[in-house]
Structure 1
Amino acid sequence: MCFGEKFDDDRIDEIAKVQREMMTVVGSGRFVMLSMFPRLGKMLFSNMWKRFEKLRDSKERVMVPIIKSRIEATSAGVDYEVVAYVDTLANLQLPGNEGDNENGGRLSDREMVSLCSEFLTGGTDTTASVLQWIMANLVKHPHIQRMLYEEIVAVVGPPPSPKKGVEGGLVIKEEDLKKMSYLKAVVLEGLRRHPPAHFLLSHKVTKEVEVEGYMFPKGAAINFMVGEMGLDPEVWDEPMEFKPERFLVNEGVFDITGSKGIKMMPFGAGRRICPGSDLALLHLEYFVANLVWYFDWSVADGSEVDLSEKNEFTIVMKNPLRVQISSRVE
């Protein structure tokens, strides 16, 4: 939970709109030039830079009052049951002396807005895009969807009627997910075939180093082609095919953290691996399992599943998924 409060639809729509517009700008190829070569980029793409600044101001206009309201309420003694991300930012003391910056060692409003925006984006857009890719492949490959449904039924039984189930809040729970190895394989295959980002944040070389005949000078910026890793034919058999069973070897054990060797890293690897990776995997398993348990997913009339990609903030479907769903309970 980012702000720790529930908002009305208008406020939610306002936050979502400015977040989406910002992601569209940041995800563009031109903005990469702005981030890698800021001085040159601002000259070449001055209009885009002005648009970025305008969106940043809009985001601060929307989020700063929310952040301040939460901080003021907490300072006044309001005891919230759940600690929000904003609470941890408000209590954060930056390294150094308190007089080192104008905020006395605290984060500025702009810094808090940036971190909250990053929290919302990293916790929603990435997971949502991967979920759509997974469901698209389950529609495109009905035999995989059928095998997944059969595993789900074997663990929790057939789905209840909509009135007792969906309306009654009856869903597959976390403890049930742990018993579904094929479900985990489906999610991992989705992440291999369609990682939400094809590049990670760049890193800087701390000293001159040679790797397979290539010399990297000290201070050079390097990046990792995450999308290409999962499609390497020397590592993966038929890499362009959606084959969840490839992850069922060794009793379904597959290390996605990179600690035992790196074959794919949709969440990064090492000390800077995504801190939300476990939560993202849980969310993906939870939503996929419940969507398949209750509904049969098929291609909509006059449509087909197009796996073409488009780069926004994340890698999304160029043509969004259109399907026909029907209840599995007659």
Structure 2
Amino acid sequence: MHMLGTKALENWAHVRHTEMGRMIGVMLELSSRREPVMLAEMLNCAMANMIGVVILGKRVFESKGMESNEFKDMVVELMTCAGLVNVGDYLPALAWMDLQGIEGRMKKLHNKFDHILTKMVDDHTATAHQRIGNPDFLDVIMANRDHNSQDQSLSLSDDNIKGLLLNLFTAGTDTPSSTIEWAMAEMLQNQTIIKQAQSEMDRVIGRQRRLTESDIPNLPYLRAICKESFRKHPPTPLNIPRVSSEACEVNEYYIPQNTKLLVNIWAIGRDPEVWKDPLEFNPGRFSTGRAVRMDPRGSDFELIPFGAGRRMCVGARMGVVLVEYIVGVLLHSFHWECSEEIINMEEVFGLALQKKVPVSALVTPRLQPKAYVI
């Protein structure tokens, strides 16, 4: 609730606004030199900084560069390894052999993340005196740890805290950025969608200022674009694995207790019995009929990019806010054109759905110069 609740998201809206201001400032510089924008790198850097300011009270990457790219690569490798089918899970007698090398890769990756997260926690502890009266998320967590230190059942260890930070940084950067990148890739192939979204924004916002989160409820076509991206390119195609708590039957299939279950969200979003022309990227499908009222946060089983029920993603609300706001800012602030003849739309399978070839695009500013001032 301190980070992901409705009130908390409203309280750190200014952080998202500032970081997007920095990002579009870098894009403006690239535009002046007619250099392409590598969208995945920029999104990863911006979102890691958004989360860093909320959790740690500071930006974690001062600028786009080797450090942020390395972090992005680590997150992608984590998501890829986590989505692989491990023979040892199904043949326990062979698990110790690590036939595919997955366990070895994960251990090396763990050591890299542990080094980064340990430094974050140590630096944060060393500067705690500077935040007296103005605690951030990690201050609250560590205060809770110290308060409950006598009761081991309630106490958080350093490993617990680093595990929580790892979850927030990986899930909070990789899944929204991949959804946004897929949405932009789809629209770069269909400029009509971009023009329609920009026309809506010009009517509602104009070109004198940047889009703000308070504008989004008045931009139904923008929201339809984001829903369509969630449908066709869900951030976690097979969701997170679940285990059945008791034996049951589903569509005449008997499922024993303690069975590992994967929900194929990717297939649900492309089911021709549910969606007309499911392989077409068509935001208009969410502009008429029942689909207008569909909510991607678990209310409608045709559209469950974050899962559903009590075990759905706790960051669903944040994910929707980030995707709608960032896609809106990108479309409103710039004209977009491909820097390549053909956009590669191949997918890389993992826990998260990555593009095989990152989006590279040329942008041109479309707002008044004062709108780009942070």
Query: Among 314, 324, 327, which residue is 2:362 paired with?
Result: 324
The answer to whether the 8 A contact 1:130-1:194 is kept is: yes
Give 2:26's aligned residue: none
Which of the two has greater helix per residue? 2
- Shift in Å at residue 176 of structure 1? 1.1
Identify if the C-alpha distance between structure 1 residues 5 and 299 changes in structure 2 by more than 3 Å, giving closer, same or farther. closer
Q: Report the Cα distance in structure 1 between the residues aligned to 2:307 and 2:183, rounded to whole angstroms.
A: 20
Give 2:77's aligned residue: 24
- Shift in Å at residue 141 of structure 1? 0.9
What amino acid does structure 2 have at the position aligned with 1:197? T
What amino acid does structure 2 have at the position aligned with 1:183? L
Q: Report the Cα distance in structure 1 between the residues aligned to 2:86 and 2:256, rounded to whole angstroms.
A: 21
- Please list, as runs of the form range in 1=range in 2, the aligned pairs for 1:79-228 lying within 5 A after superposition: 79=132, 81=134, 83-84=136-137, 86-92=138-144, 98=150, 100=152, 105-157=154-206, 159-160=207-208, 170-228=209-267
Give 2:108's aligned residue: 54
Give 1:256's aligned residue: 296
Q: Report the Cα distance in structure 2 between the residues aligned to 1:246 and 1:8, rounded to whole angstroms.
A: 39
Give 1:66's aligned residue: 120
Q: Report the Cα distance in structure 1 between the residues aligned to 2:336 and 2:342, rounded to whole angstroms.
A: 13
Structural RMSD (CA): 3.0
What amino acid does structure 2 have at the position aligned with 1:156? I
Identify if the C-alpha distance between structure 1 residues 30 and 37 changes in structure 2 by more than 3 Å, giving closer, same or farther. farther
Identity %: 24
Which stretch shows the higher mean deviation, 279-288 or 13-22?
13-22
Give 1:165's aligned residue: none
Give 1:314's aligned residue: 352
Q: Report the Cα distance in structure 1 between the residues aligned to 2:354 and 2:83, rounded to whole angstroms.
A: 18
Could you say what secondary structure the match of 2:344 adopts? coil
What amino acid does structure 2 have at the position aligned with 1:257? R
Could you say what secondary structure the match of 1:137 adopts? helix
Q: Which runs of 5+ in 1 are unaligned?
A: 161-169
What amino acid does structure 2 have at the position aligned with 1:152? M
Give 1:304's aligned residue: 342
The answer to whether the 8 A contact 1:26-1:32 is kept is: no
Identify if the C-alpha distance between structure 1 residues 11 and 142 changes in structure 2 by more than 3 Å, giving closer, same or farther. closer
- Shift in Å at residue 69 of structure 1? 3.5
Identify if the C-alpha distance between structure 1 residues 278 and 23 changes in structure 2 by more than 3 Å, giving closer, same or farther. same
> Any idea what the Cα deviations from partners look like across 1:159-214, whole Å, max 9, x if unmatched?
24xxxxxxxxx411111111000000000001101111111111111221111110
1:45 and 2:99 matched: yes
| TM-score normalised according to structure 2 size | 0.74
What amino acid does structure 2 have at the position aligned with 1:296? H
- Please list, as runs of the form range in 1=range in 2, the aligned pairs for 1:4-23 lying within 5 A after superposition: 4-7=57-60, 9=62, 14=67, 17-18=70-71, 20-21=73-74, 23=76
The answer to whether the 8 A contact 2:188-2:338 is kept is: yes
The answer to whether the 8 A contact 1:14-1:62 is kept is: no
Q: Report the Cα distance in structure 2 between the residues aligned to 1:11 and 1:328, rounded to whole angstroms.
A: 23
Q: Report the Cα distance in structure 2 between the residues aligned to 1:324 and 1:19, rounded to whole angstroms.
A: 22
Identify if the C-alpha distance between structure 1 residues 149 and 42 changes in structure 2 by more than 3 Å, giving closer, same or farther. farther
Which stretch shows the higher mean deviation, 57-66 or 230-239?
57-66
* Higher RCO (CA-CA < 8 Å; seq separation 6+): 2
Query: Among 55, 69, 82, which residue is 1:2 paired with?
Result: 55
Q: Report the Cα distance in structure 2 between the residues aligned to 1:12 and 1:57, rounded to whole angstroms.
A: 22
Could you say what secondary structure the match of 2:172 adopts? helix
Query: Among 263, 266, 269, which residue is 2:305 paired with?
Result: 266
The answer to whether the 8 A contact 1:268-1:274 is kept is: yes
Query: Among 269, 272, 283, which residue is 2:322 paired with?
Result: 283
The answer to whether the 8 A contact 2:172-2:319 is kept is: yes
| TM-score normalised according to structure 1 size | 0.83
